[in-house]
Structure 1
Amino acid sequence: MSQPLSEHLLRGHHRDWQVLPAEDHLPIAGRIKAGRSRPGVTRFDPRCFLDEEDVLIELALLGMERIAPVYRLGPDGTRVHGFIEGEPLSALRPPGTPLSGTELDQLARLFGELAAIPPAALALVHSCPVPDRPRTSREFARRLVRFTRRRVYARHRAALGGLFQTLGIDSDVLSVTGPLVREAARMTNRPFCLLHGDLHRDNLIVAESDGQLWTIDWELAMIGDPLYDLATHLHLMDYPERQEQAMVVRWAGAVEERLPGAAEGLPRDLPRYLAYKRVQSVFTDVIRQAIAVREAPVGQLGERLTTAGEMVSRALRRAERPLGLGRVPSPSVVEGVYAAFHAGAVPVPAAPSGGAPLGGARSTPAVGRPVPPAPRATGRAGRSSATT
């Protein structure tokens, strides 16, 4: 996701981008953008590729359209992206508002294109050691939970564990015996393909040239279960409820046509992945907002506290069922917790599991209700034989 810092500077979660005109002597039409990594940025998602540029180059070779071209410039071969002139979909269709039928169809085609790209097609740039790659949907889902447990929560527990406790978030939801891992073991195994991993309204550009959706920000692309990409998309897009179901139907038809078996078990497994995404979002937002509050410049603390209250309360509300919360703290209550954290008044936890002083009596965690089955399309494409 990119946010404008100035007319020619964009900030994403992992890189800052400078938008520049292409020099006259270069065979490049339009503007380019050059990225610079942001040091010390916490990563909250697993990655399969070291560089987004590697993914984009491979996709271009595979014939995928409506992605940014990659150019090498200068004697050191610095790689830059072609800049897609247009508006983010979020500016034209804000979260919570419906998309047009044409836009839904374009997204379904994109998912179909991704489903048609087998793991073997990106083997040369896949950075994960082969023995460490999940080979089934069940293993894939378990490793997502493990990543959040080890690389997100555990790394921040010493500094922020008291914050989780005070907000009523029990880290046992991520444990090896917790509800998310138990549900992962019940997953239907599906063939793997390329996933975008972060497909939301800010990463879809409505191009000036043709009004079509172009896809940017492939940094979280990975190889895995195609249903996870749909769950991530639904979680981030914030569709109106009826349109969410319409997108599920379109997705199922598109991926089954290109990768038979990709939509197997959809009604049971989509709620399982959505439960994980909602829990992951809570841990991610709590940590991100803590960092933002802790590093607030003079004069911006009040604004940062308000944002923390709104974002974390919303994340808790969406994850109420899988977290087993008795009640969800309001934005003003969460804001007060972060104010106490900033003042050093939130205690360091004494035990690995968090209590629930704000969440009230804890109910049994649930991963969500099954969704209605979507029609399946039969296609001619064969199942991918790659298992990485």
Structure 2
Amino acid sequence: MSPQPHEKRQTLAHRLLEVRLQGRAAVLKGHHNTNYVLRIGLPLAVVLGVMPFVRFKYRVPLKTVEVVPRIWRSEVDVLAVVCRHLREVPRGFAVQGDRSLHRYRRGIVLSEQNPHGPVDENMLREFAAFFVRTAKVPVKELPAPPRDWPVDGESAKFLHWLIEFTERRVHLPNRERFGDLFDQVGIPADAMAAFKERHLSLVSRRFVLLHTDVHRANVVVRRKGITVIDWELAIYGDPLHDLATHIVRMGYSPTERRQMVDLWERAMQAADLGPLTAGLHDDLDTYVDFEYAQSVYPDVMRAALGLPTEAGDEHFRVAAERVWSAMDRARGPLELKSVKDVDQIMEALRKWHSMDAVSAETTVV
């Protein structure tokens, strides 16, 4: 079967981009992708049907441990819908394979402008308005969810799907390499099963489009407001999950969290989306607890994988402090009686690091 026209365009775009990358391109690395920011020339602009010499972001996925669900294969397909309703979001273009090209949104990234500090009320209002706009995207226009996806409104089953994903796709597949480390830093072997048993029911809320990764590095601040970028982790589900991931990943203070929740609730009600706020406070706490509970796995693995081959005391201490923080945040959600101290975690990381190095050498041979 001969290639379809769109496949030919993607192949040609890929070749032109590879040539373009041999010149100058700013490199931005994230958890999931390496992003190359570059101006596209006339030939590529003709292939894509866009204005030439404007800046684009070329996204190349990193080979990383899977820690978050991706229910839609193509971010570009999701963006095709999102951009019709959230005009500020930059368009995406499929290139070859899993690579994609995105219009570069000018502005200041919030993580550069304000990496850790307090967020003022105007910014919180911007976030609340964004969640309303996202919730209004027509679900019928989105790609179909997986076959095992919970039925619209089955909020408890949606949460349980997330819990089971963490167990089946994050915890268990990584036990061979990280299992001893998980045990030694104090993650209970039945952490996810026990969490699920403690949260068997939630209030039913209509499912909507969720971004699920609204944090400072994904927010571009402009004069006319904010633009939320990077929609690769978008899913379809309970709106409280989106609010919870936002609260956790923004690192809000307790006061900011209360403000954000209040503004979100009022914005939803003002937009005739009041039913989405049903059971808000109790169920939001559940989703926040889940975020802290599930994050112990990726945080431990990232800390361990971030250790250099010739790691010294300071490397182990920084990694151990990162793991300790994750375990401390999960103390309540996982009902941990105690959390190991930094020195104990350092020792566990040293042991894992020495054994993993031996394993890697054996694999290479």
When the two structures are superposed, what TM-score results if normalisation uses the length of structure 1? 0.77
User: How many Å separate the matches in 1 of 2:179 and 2:102?
Assistant: 40
Give the Cα–Cα distance (whole angstroms) in 2 for the partners of residues 134 and 315 of structure 1: 32
Q: After TM superposition, list the pairs within 5 Å mapping 1:138-287 onto structure 2.
A: 138-175=156-193, 178=194, 180-207=195-222, 210=223, 212-256=225-269, 257-287=271-301
Q: Which letter maps to 1:45? A: V
Q: State whether structure 2 residue 126 is matched by structure 1 residue 113.
A: no
2:90 pairs with one of 65, 68, 71 = 68
1:7 and 1:306 map into 2 onto residues whose CA distance is: 35
Secondary structure of the 1:205 match is: strand
Rounded Cα–Cα distance in structure 2 between residues aligned with 1:181 and 1:198 = 23
Q: Of the candidates 88, 91, 105, which is equivalent to residue 109 of structure 2?
A: 88
Tell me which of 321, 325, 328 is aligned to 1:314: 325
Q: How many angstroms apart in 2 are the aligned matches of 1:162 and 1:79?
A: 38
Alignment of 1:282-301 (within 5 A): 282-293=296-307, 296-298=308-310
- Give how far 1:330 is off: 3.4
Structure having greater relative contact order (Cα 8 Å, sep ≥ 6): 1
CA distance in 2, matches of 1:313, 1:120: 43
Count of aligned pairs between the two proteins: 325
Distance 2:138 2:239 in 1: 11
Are 1:118 and 1:192, in contact at CA under 8 Å, matched by a contact in 2? Answer: no
Task: Note the C-alpha offset of 1:66.
Answer: 2.1
Match of 1:342 in 2: 353
1:258 and 1:303 mapped to 2: Cα distance?
Answer: 53
Q: Which residue of 2 aligns with 1:330?
A: 341
| Alpha-carbon distance in 2 for matches of 1:310, 1:30 | 43
Greater percentage in helix: 2
Displacement of 1:234: 0.6
Matches of 2:25 and 2:253, distance apart in 1: 32
Letter in 2 for 1:22: I
Percent identical pairs in the alignment equals: 30
Aligned-residue offset at 1:302: 5.3
For 1:340 and 1:115, the matched residues in 2 are separated by: 47
Corresponding position: 1:56 with 2:56: no
- Once residues 104 and 339 of structure 2 are traced to their aligned partners in structure 1, the CA distance between those partners, rounded to angstroms, is 42
Greater CA drift, 224-233 or 64-73: 64-73
Partner of 2:11: none
Gaps of 5+ in 2: 1-23, 46-50, 357-365
Q: In 2, Cα distance between the equivalents of 1:240 and 1:151? A: 31
CA shift in 2, pair 1:52/1:162, >3 Å: same
Change (3 A) 1:312 1:259: same
Which one-letter code corresponds to 1:227 in the other structure? L
CA distance in 2, matches of 1:144, 1:71: 29
Residue 265 of structure 2 aligns with an amino acid whose one-letter code is A
Q: CA deviation at 1:255?
A: 2.5
Structure 1 segments, 4+ long, off by >3 Å, are 71-74, 131-135, 300-304, 330-333
* Pairwise CA distance, 1:64: 0.7
The 2-side partners of 1:162 and 1:153 are apart by 12
Aligned CA RMSD, in angstroms, stands at 2.5
In 1: Cα distance, 2:100 partner to 2:338 partner: 49
Between the aligned partners of 2:25 and 2:259, the Cα distance in structure 1 is: 37
Is the 1:195–1:224 Cα contact (8 Å) retained in structure 2?
A: yes
1:147 corresponds to which letter in structure 2?
F
Q: What residue ranges of structure 1 are gaps of 5+ in the alignment? A: 1-5, 346-388
Q: Kindly provide the CA deviation profile for residues 247-272 of structure 1, in whole angstroms up to 9, marking residues without a partner as x.
A: 00111122232433111001211111
